[in-house]
Structure 1
Amino acid sequence: MDPLYVALSLYRRRHFDKCVDLCTLILEKQPLDQAAWCLKMRAMTQRVYVDDIDTEDINETDFLNENVVATAPRPGTSMRPATNSNTNNKGIGSRPRTSTGRPISGVSRPGTQSRPGSSVLDRLKTARPLTGHSARAIRLGTAAMFSQRDGPFIQISRLNISKYAKDKCLSKPLFEYMYYHEGDVRNAMELAVQATQASEFKDWWWKVQLAKCYVALNLLRDAEQQLRSALKQQQHFEIFLRLIRIYLRMDQPLSATEICRAALTVYPEDVSILTEMARLNEATGEMQASIKFYRSVVIEDAMNTEAIACIAVYHFYNYQPELALRYYRRVLAMGAHSAELYNNLGLCCLYAQQLDLVYVCFQRALDLATDPLIKADVWYNLSHLALGSGDIELALMCLNLCISCDPNHAAGYNNLGVLQHKLGRSNLAKAYLTTAMKHESDLQEAKTNLDLLTQT
């Protein structure tokens, strides 16, 4: 059987390691075989390929401060004030939030946590169709295609980028290999620029790739221009999503919402677009609209854990723990296991008076928690459980464990101050409350308690 045919079969079945090994054997016999060279390049790229749209972190530090024209933006025009307080929604303002600023729902959303190896240069997306060939024809390449056994597969410094940019069969796989596998944004952007010029600016795909390079270099306005131009040529799903993510990084939720609505006219019931709309409304404090879109997501995709968890959070903070418990049990039944999920299950069981399951859920949350901040939240919740049972000493121990896991836990210091005051230790109570105010000056409870202690 033809070895290249076997390699193609392995590629389609996603056996990328075996495909790379077989292509290597083919190239050892015929080093200038462009078909095997291209296939090996695609297999090596797909071996490390993940979706790079939803994994881009959007943190407070990413917002462009040079575009700020007012210190207090109008309500609904920025996502930053929504992460601090929300007084327009009943029961929502006191929600605990993650380090990225969104309420803890029990399920981690893609792109909300930074993990090793999750940078833009290490992330990849789904496969593009392999370039088809009508016959088994060997085309000879150049010396840059030679790869040493103990060296790199492709010597990018020796590539004639202008030549490959004009080759429609090799330019796109080569770009993905340079951008994703090698992480060489500079040469990948050079290839994208020349390929865009070679296509007379008519190929929308190259404009999207050029925008990706601009985003990697934090040139968001240039990326926006490229995506806008690509959107005029092709209303593709990926273009809408990438444009939304750019506006989110620039802290322009109104522009992102406008793009979402335009995308919904093209893809009316698409789950990803509906999810983006729900996230946007949640970030700007429009919880009713957010839950409406999350419910639409669940109707289209009943296995969407993010939407189910966010609906559960909404019901819990609107004094409906029984409904929240139903949604969290649904997430648990789908196989999701995390410390946040068991922590929220424990709280729902506590407020729904299912006391036999509370300790079991919190114990499971502590077993699964690897982040000290999550452990601190679990111990803080356990202190409330101890207070409910009248055990002040146990509550003190839980709060001490809370601040040992997270020395900046302002709510823990505040509650320690209250308990110390009840035990008659006023000086120690003032010290704890003062520490709470240092870590979170906007904590109203600590400010009120400290004023009362000062007056007495």
Structure 2
Amino acid sequence: MEIAMDPLFLAWSYFRRRKLQQCSDICTKILHDNPFDQAAWNLKTRALTEMVYIDEVDVDQEGIAEMMLDESSIAQVARPGTSLRLPGTSQGGGPTPAVRPMTQSGRPITGFVRPSTQSGRPGTMEQAIKTPRTASTARPVSSASGRLIRLATTLFEYIFHHENDVKNGLDLAAQATEHAQFKDWWWKVQLGKCYYRLGLYREAEKQFRSALNHQEVVDTYLYLAKVYQRLDQPVTALNLFKQGLDHFPGEVTLLTGIARIHEEMNNISSATEYYKDVLKQDNTHVEAIACIGSNHFYTDQPEIALRFYRRLLQMGVYNCQLYNNLGLCCFYAQQYDMTLSSFERALALVASDEEQADVWYNIGHVAVGIGDLSLAYQCFKLTLAFNNDHAEAYNNLAVLELRKGHVEQIGDLQSSYAAAQKAEDAFPEHVDTQQLLKQLREHFAVL
């Protein structure tokens, strides 16, 4: 004799096992028979929300509108060490920009993919249009701390995350805050999130500050720091993180936030120290391991960097970027037997044309190192076949053409000058390209 399982219990089972679509379908059947079942409504909205939920704590990238219509900026030229948009030179004996690759906005390339550090703030509208935007997040998706399991809170999260209806979400949060006599910290945080999404950063700051006065919560510190980073006030954000550490000693997310800001301001040595503090609390923290490994690589310590990347491999990280970094570390550590096999693995795991281009570029870089210029030339050509805006590949092709004596000002890439011009178009601030163009122009002036 079969005993039928209660549909709502089965739906909860699916929800706990992250089978969200099956959970939603069962709740729909329950509501078809009883439209006033609040438990089913609650569970269905939670399932639909979890399907599209992203961690709001991460600093998202600025779009073209925020770039061109920034009303929060007071001074056009910030003092050194006080702005994320003008990070300046490295501090504390870290690597120089000539050693560590930089983005077009002047930020150092980090060891871990984060939305706020991919392309930075484009300088012109043309660059903003050309710059690809990513929607990925660095931190894993997690549930917000202290979320109250009530129909009202579930409804808000459904409106905010699934429907992306910030205006109605703001109205609901405002009414709930008023109903709670302005004493519920959770609803004040939701108000702050809505204001932030609408670009009202000062109003968001007030709500987050008020929420902290009622209840000290780690997520509120992270949201408020996110506001200060968008307002380009990294020093205030750092002080806020340190204030949070006084209440939550050793909190990994706060330490990581401090390390990220130092890294974005090109203060690599301080960032590395904080990432080491992160590893003292959580020795499996992927971002900290990757960033420390990247820093060791760019400070001419490939053997130590190789240990960190192998640690990631032992932890189960298995992607193109990791094998790409392993290949470079093996090459500079003179472990040539592992170099090509690592790049082969990287090519087998590529997920986009940009990744394919980066791997071929690094293989070409290795080919230059071993003196096989013919292979290097083909690799850089393959790089441009997958990414036609790869400035470094254009620059290296220009150098190879210069070695061949092809310096004429002709329209294709069979001359050093034409390739260097392409590199300048793709990345106008690239130092090596500017030096090469200067050398070529001096050559034409002599002729």
Q: TM-score range by the shorter chain?
A: 0.7 to 0.9
Residue 431 (structure 2) pairs with residue 450 (structure 1): no
Match in the other structure for 1:314: 295
Flag structure 2 segments of 5+ consecutive residues without an equivalent. 119-132, 409-414
Residue 416 (structure 2) pairs with residue 429 (structure 1): yes
Match in the other structure for 1:157: none
- How far, CA to CA, are the matches of 1:100 and 1:367 in structure 2? 31
Flag structure 1 segments of 5+ consecutive residues without an equivalent. 132-168
Report the residue type matching 2:16 in the other structure: R
Report the residue type matching 1:260 in the other structure: F
| 1:235 alignment partner, one of 199, 216, 219 | 216
| 2:113 alignment partner, one of 105, 108, 111 | 108
Give the conservation status (yes or no) of the 8 Å contact 2:262–2:270: yes
Report the residue type matching 1:309 in the other structure: A
Match in the other structure for 2:78: 73
Deviation of residue 255 (structure 1)? 1.4
- How far, CA to CA, are the matches of 2:186 and 2:148 in structure 1? 15
Deviation of residue 88 (structure 1)? 7.0
- How far, CA to CA, are the matches of 1:400 and 1:126 in structure 2? 47
Residue 308 (structure 2) pairs with residue 327 (structure 1): yes
Residue 93 (structure 2) pairs with residue 93 (structure 1): no
1:341-352 matched pairs, under 5 angstroms: 341-352=322-333
- How far, CA to CA, are the matches of 1:42 and 1:100 in structure 2? 39
SS of aligned partner of 2:78: coil
Deviation of residue 265 (structure 1)? 0.6
**What's the TM-score once normalised by structure 2's chain length?**
0.82
Provide Cα deviations, 1:399-454, integer angstroms capped at 9, x if missing partner: 22222322222222222122112112121112222332333332232222233333
1:318-397 matched pairs, under 5 angstroms: 318-397=299-378
Give the conservation status (yes or no) of the 8 Å contact 1:52–1:124: no
Provide Cα deviations, 1:64-102, integer angstroms capped at 9, x if missing partner: 7323333321111111223x8648754341423568976
Give the conservation status (yes or no) of the 8 Å contact 1:78–1:284: yes
Change (3 A) 1:201 1:411: same
Deviation of residue 314 (structure 1)? 0.8
Which deviates the most, 189-198 or 271-280? 189-198
Deviation of residue 268 (structure 1)? 0.9
Change (3 A) 1:326 1:280: same
- How far, CA to CA, are the matches of 1:441 and 1:49 in structure 2? 38
Give the conservation status (yes or no) of the 8 Å contact 1:392–1:419: yes
Deviation of residue 358 (structure 1)? 0.8
| 1:198 alignment partner, one of 179, 183, 190 | 179
SS of aligned partner of 2:71: helix
Report the residue type matching 1:368 in the other structure: L
Residue 20 (structure 2) pairs with residue 33 (structure 1): no
Change (3 A) 1:2 1:87: closer
| 1:281 alignment partner, one of 253, 262, 268 | 262
Match in the other structure for 2:286: 305
Change (3 A) 1:70 1:100: closer
Higher relative contact order (CA 8 A, sep 6+): 1
Which deviates the most, 24-33 or 176-185? 24-33
Change (3 A) 1:200 1:394: same
Change (3 A) 1:103 1:336: farther
| 1:181 alignment partner, one of 155, 162, 175 | 162
- How far, CA to CA, are the matches of 1:411 and 1:185 in structure 2? 42
Change (3 A) 1:11 1:432: closer
Report the residue type matching 1:13 in the other structure: R
Report the residue type matching 2:328 in the other structure: L
| 2:49 alignment partner, one of 45, 48, 51 | 45
Change (3 A) 1:272 1:186: same
SS of aligned partner of 1:31: coil
| 1:224 alignment partner, one of 205, 220, 241 | 205
Change (3 A) 1:421 1:190: same
- How far, CA to CA, are the matches of 1:434 and 1:339 in structure 2? 30
- How far, CA to CA, are the matches of 1:382 and 1:183 in structure 2? 43
- How far, CA to CA, are the matches of 1:404 and 1:23 in structure 2? 49
- How far, CA to CA, are the matches of 2:423 and 2:32 in structure 1? 67
Number of equivalent positions: 413
Provide Cα deviations, 1:221-243, integer angstroms capped at 9, x if missing partner: 21111111111111111110111
Change (3 A) 1:426 1:195: same
SS of aligned partner of 1:81: coil
Give the conservation status (yes or no) of the 8 Å contact 2:147–2:186: no
Same amino acid, percent of matched pairs:
42
Report the residue type matching 1:174 in the other structure: L
**What's the TM-score once normalised by structure 1's chain length?**
0.81
Match in the other structure for 1:58: 61
Match in the other structure for 1:441: 428
Which deviates the most, 93-102 or 198-207? 93-102
Deviation of residue 108 (structure 1)? 3.0
Report the residue type matching 1:33 in the other structure: D
Change (3 A) 1:274 1:31: same
Give the conservation status (yes or no) of the 8 Å contact 2:11–2:24: no
1:117-136 matched pairs, under 5 angstroms: 125-126=143-144, 131=149
Residue 253 (structure 2) pairs with residue 291 (structure 1): no
Residue 5 (structure 2) pairs with residue 10 (structure 1): no
Which deviates the most, 201-210 or 399-408? 399-408
Change (3 A) 1:240 1:127: closer
Provide Cα deviations, 1:232-262, integer angstroms capped at 9, x if missing partner: 1111111101111111122211111111011
SS of aligned partner of 2:76: coil
